[in-house]
Amino acid sequence: QVQLVESGGGLVQAGGSLRLSCAASRSINSINVMGWYRQTPGNGRELVTTITSWGTTNYADSVKGRFTISRNNAKNTVYLQMNSLKPEDTAVYYCNALSDGIAYWGQGTQVTVSS
């Protein structure tokens, strides 16, 4: 089992940057895939980006070239660097960990991008 706690959300103007952090309650070395999803009111969660335990990354087309996922295994933390933010990036961002076939979620952090 693993608990995930996100931080770093907030209000930013379009074109600005934010860095989200996801701190895990235990070592993430053995967690197969970690990632970030986002959700807006009335919609389901959509994949933003993932990173495997060996460092392979995957991005939604809407964020390619603007967002970067990284992981620091020593700190049991995954990061999401978001640059060139757009109003359509406004959402609650959730951290996800997939381990031994079980998906774990954080509580989410709100990101609001003003135009």
CA distances from residue 85 to 23, 65, 67, 79, 112 in whole angstroms, order as listed: 23, 11, 9, 16, 9
Q: CA-to-CA distance for 93 and 1, rounded, in angstroms?
A: 21
The overall average pLDDT reported for the chain is 96
- How far is residue 102's CA from residue 100's CA, in Å, rounded to a whole number? 6
Q: Give the tens place of pLDDT for each residue, 48-100.
A: 999 999 999 999 999 999 999 999 999 999 999 999 999 999 999 999 999 88
Residues with Cβ within 8 Å of residue 24, at least 6 apart in sequence: 2, 3, 4, 31, 76, 77, 78, 97
Cβ pair 69, 96 in contact under 8 A: no
User: Quick one: DSSP state of residue 87?
Assistant: G
Write out pLDDT tens, residues 9-34. Answer: 999 999 999 999 999 999 998 899 99
What phi and psi, each to the nearest 5 degrees, are found at residue 78?
-115, 140
